[in-house]
Amino acid sequence: MISSIWGRFSALGLLIALVTLILDQASKYWVLYQFWPTHGCDPFEKTGLFQCRVEILSFMDFTMAWNTGISYGLLANNGDLGRWLLIGFSVLAIIGFCVWLAKAEGRLLALSIGLIVGGAMGNVIDRVFYEAVADFVSLHGFGYYWYIFNVADVAIVAGALGLLYEMVIVPTK
Protein backbone atom coordinates (compact mmCIF):
# COMPACT_ATOMS: atom_id res chain seq x y z
CA MET A 1 0.00 0.00 0.00
CA ILE A 2 2.68 2.52 0.99
CA SER A 3 4.66 1.76 -2.19
CA SER A 4 1.71 2.99 -4.25
CA ILE A 5 1.96 6.48 -2.72
CA TRP A 6 5.68 6.75 -1.92
CA GLY A 7 8.61 5.66 -4.01
CA ARG A 8 12.36 5.92 -4.21
CA PHE A 9 12.34 9.41 -5.81
CA SER A 10 9.17 10.80 -4.18
CA ALA A 11 11.11 13.04 -1.79
CA LEU A 12 13.13 14.55 -4.64
CA GLY A 13 10.03 15.19 -6.76
CA LEU A 14 8.08 16.72 -3.89
CA LEU A 15 11.04 18.90 -2.90
CA ILE A 16 11.22 20.19 -6.50
CA ALA A 17 7.44 20.77 -6.41
CA LEU A 18 7.73 22.74 -3.15
CA VAL A 19 10.62 24.89 -4.42
CA THR A 20 8.74 25.54 -7.66
CA LEU A 21 5.59 26.51 -5.76
CA ILE A 22 7.51 28.88 -3.48
CA LEU A 23 9.33 30.55 -6.40
CA ASP A 24 6.07 30.92 -8.33
CA GLN A 25 4.08 32.39 -5.47
CA ALA A 26 6.94 34.65 -4.35
CA SER A 27 7.35 36.05 -7.88
CA LYS A 28 3.61 36.67 -8.17
CA TYR A 29 3.49 38.33 -4.76
CA TRP A 30 6.37 40.60 -5.73
CA VAL A 31 4.82 41.54 -9.07
CA LEU A 32 1.30 42.09 -7.70
CA TYR A 33 2.12 43.84 -4.43
CA GLN A 34 5.54 45.44 -4.99
CA PHE A 35 6.40 45.93 -8.66
CA TRP A 36 3.10 47.12 -10.15
CA PRO A 37 2.12 49.53 -7.35
CA THR A 38 5.51 51.27 -7.63
CA HIS A 39 4.87 51.67 -11.38
CA GLY A 40 1.47 53.31 -10.91
CA CYS A 41 -0.56 50.31 -11.97
CA ASP A 42 -3.35 48.45 -10.21
CA PRO A 43 -2.74 44.83 -11.23
CA PHE A 44 -6.13 43.79 -9.91
CA GLU A 45 -7.95 46.01 -12.41
CA LYS A 46 -9.01 43.37 -14.91
CA THR A 47 -10.24 45.70 -17.63
CA GLY A 48 -7.66 45.04 -20.32
CA LEU A 49 -4.79 42.78 -21.24
CA PHE A 50 -2.10 45.42 -21.55
CA GLN A 51 -3.17 47.98 -18.95
CA CYS A 52 0.16 47.47 -17.16
CA ARG A 53 3.35 47.19 -19.20
CA VAL A 54 6.98 47.90 -18.39
CA GLU A 55 9.81 47.09 -20.80
CA ILE A 56 12.49 44.94 -19.16
CA LEU A 57 14.55 44.02 -22.24
CA SER A 58 14.06 44.79 -25.94
CA PHE A 59 12.26 41.42 -26.33
CA MET A 60 10.64 41.11 -22.89
CA ASP A 61 8.11 43.17 -20.93
CA PHE A 62 6.33 42.76 -17.67
CA THR A 63 2.71 42.85 -18.82
CA MET A 64 -0.12 42.11 -16.42
CA ALA A 65 -2.61 39.55 -17.69
CA TRP A 66 -5.21 37.50 -15.83
CA ASN A 67 -5.74 34.14 -17.51
CA THR A 68 -9.08 32.51 -16.75
CA GLY A 69 -8.30 29.55 -19.00
CA ILE A 70 -5.38 27.24 -19.46
CA SER A 71 -2.30 27.70 -21.65
CA TYR A 72 -2.71 30.43 -24.27
CA GLY A 73 -6.10 31.26 -22.77
CA LEU A 74 -7.68 28.03 -24.05
CA LEU A 75 -10.89 27.08 -22.26
CA ALA A 76 -11.15 30.64 -20.93
CA ASN A 77 -14.19 31.26 -18.82
CA ASN A 78 -15.65 34.10 -16.82
CA GLY A 79 -17.79 32.14 -14.41
CA ASP A 80 -17.38 30.30 -11.15
CA LEU A 81 -18.42 26.94 -12.61
CA GLY A 82 -15.65 26.99 -15.21
CA ARG A 83 -13.09 28.18 -12.67
CA TRP A 84 -13.98 25.41 -10.19
CA LEU A 85 -13.97 22.81 -12.97
CA LEU A 86 -10.44 23.89 -13.91
CA ILE A 87 -9.42 23.79 -10.24
CA GLY A 88 -10.91 20.30 -9.88
CA PHE A 89 -9.26 19.05 -13.05
CA SER A 90 -5.91 20.49 -11.92
CA VAL A 91 -6.17 18.86 -8.50
CA LEU A 92 -6.94 15.49 -10.11
CA ALA A 93 -3.96 15.95 -12.44
CA ILE A 94 -1.72 16.80 -9.47
CA ILE A 95 -2.86 13.63 -7.69
CA GLY A 96 -2.25 11.59 -10.84
CA PHE A 97 1.25 13.01 -11.22
CA CYS A 98 2.01 12.27 -7.56
CA VAL A 99 0.97 8.63 -8.09
CA TRP A 100 3.24 8.54 -11.14
CA LEU A 101 6.02 10.10 -9.03
CA ALA A 102 5.75 7.21 -6.56
CA LYS A 103 6.57 4.86 -9.43
CA ALA A 104 9.39 6.99 -10.88
CA GLU A 105 12.58 5.06 -11.47
CA GLY A 106 14.88 7.96 -12.25
CA ARG A 107 15.87 11.43 -11.12
CA LEU A 108 14.95 13.15 -14.39
CA LEU A 109 11.43 11.71 -14.26
CA ALA A 110 11.05 12.76 -10.60
CA LEU A 111 12.40 16.23 -11.38
CA SER A 112 10.06 16.60 -14.36
CA ILE A 113 7.01 15.49 -12.40
CA GLY A 114 8.00 17.75 -9.51
CA LEU A 115 8.18 20.76 -11.82
CA ILE A 116 4.73 20.00 -13.25
CA VAL A 117 3.17 19.42 -9.82
CA GLY A 118 4.69 22.59 -8.35
CA GLY A 119 3.63 24.69 -11.32
CA ALA A 120 0.11 23.28 -11.32
CA MET A 121 -0.20 23.94 -7.60
CA GLY A 122 0.90 27.55 -8.09
CA ASN A 123 -1.73 28.13 -10.75
CA VAL A 124 -4.42 26.41 -8.65
CA ILE A 125 -3.65 28.78 -5.78
CA ASP A 126 -4.12 31.73 -8.14
CA ARG A 127 -7.47 30.38 -9.35
CA VAL A 128 -8.69 29.87 -5.79
CA PHE A 129 -7.62 33.26 -4.41
CA TYR A 130 -7.68 35.54 -7.49
CA GLU A 131 -10.21 33.72 -9.72
CA ALA A 132 -7.61 33.68 -12.53
CA VAL A 133 -3.92 32.97 -13.03
CA ALA A 134 -1.57 35.95 -12.80
CA ASP A 135 0.69 36.03 -15.87
CA PHE A 136 3.24 38.80 -16.25
CA VAL A 137 6.24 37.99 -18.47
CA SER A 138 5.70 38.83 -22.13
CA LEU A 139 8.11 37.81 -24.86
CA HIS A 140 7.97 39.61 -28.18
CA GLY A 141 9.92 40.39 -31.30
CA PHE A 142 9.54 41.59 -34.86
CA GLY A 143 6.18 43.17 -34.00
CA TYR A 144 4.69 39.96 -32.61
CA TYR A 145 3.70 39.32 -29.02
CA TRP A 146 3.70 35.64 -28.23
CA TYR A 147 3.20 34.25 -24.82
CA ILE A 148 2.50 35.90 -21.47
CA PHE A 149 3.49 33.55 -18.68
CA ASN A 150 4.68 33.12 -15.09
CA VAL A 151 7.14 30.93 -13.18
CA ALA A 152 4.57 28.11 -12.87
CA ASP A 153 4.12 28.01 -16.63
CA VAL A 154 7.88 27.79 -17.18
CA ALA A 155 8.07 24.91 -14.68
CA ILE A 156 5.19 23.04 -16.34
CA VAL A 157 6.76 23.41 -19.81
CA ALA A 158 10.21 22.38 -18.53
CA GLY A 159 8.65 19.38 -16.78
CA ALA A 160 6.76 18.39 -19.93
CA LEU A 161 9.99 18.63 -21.95
CA GLY A 162 11.69 16.41 -19.36
CA LEU A 163 8.88 13.85 -19.65
CA LEU A 164 9.12 13.97 -23.43
CA TYR A 165 12.88 13.42 -23.25
CA GLU A 166 12.35 10.48 -20.89
CA MET A 167 9.76 8.90 -23.19
CA VAL A 168 11.41 9.52 -26.56
CA ILE A 169 15.16 9.81 -26.08
CA VAL A 170 16.07 7.67 -23.06
CA PRO A 171 16.31 4.01 -24.08
CA THR A 172 13.84 1.66 -22.43
CA LYS A 173 14.99 -1.19 -20.26
- Angstrom distance (rounded) from CA 16 to CA 117: 9
Query: Of 9, 3, 7, which Cα lies nearest the Cα of 106?
Result: 9
Sheet of 133-141, strand order: 53-57, 60-67, 133-141, 144-149
Residues found in the chain: 173
Q: Could you confirm whether 80 is annotated as catalytic?
A: no
The DSSP 8-state label assigned to residue 137 in this structure reads: E
Catalytic-role residue among 24, 61, 126, 153:
153
Catalytic-role residue among 24, 61, 126, 135:
135
CA atoms within 13 A on the CB side of 22: 6
Q: Could you confirm whether 153 is annotated as catalytic?
A: yes
Q: List active site positions.
A: 135, 153
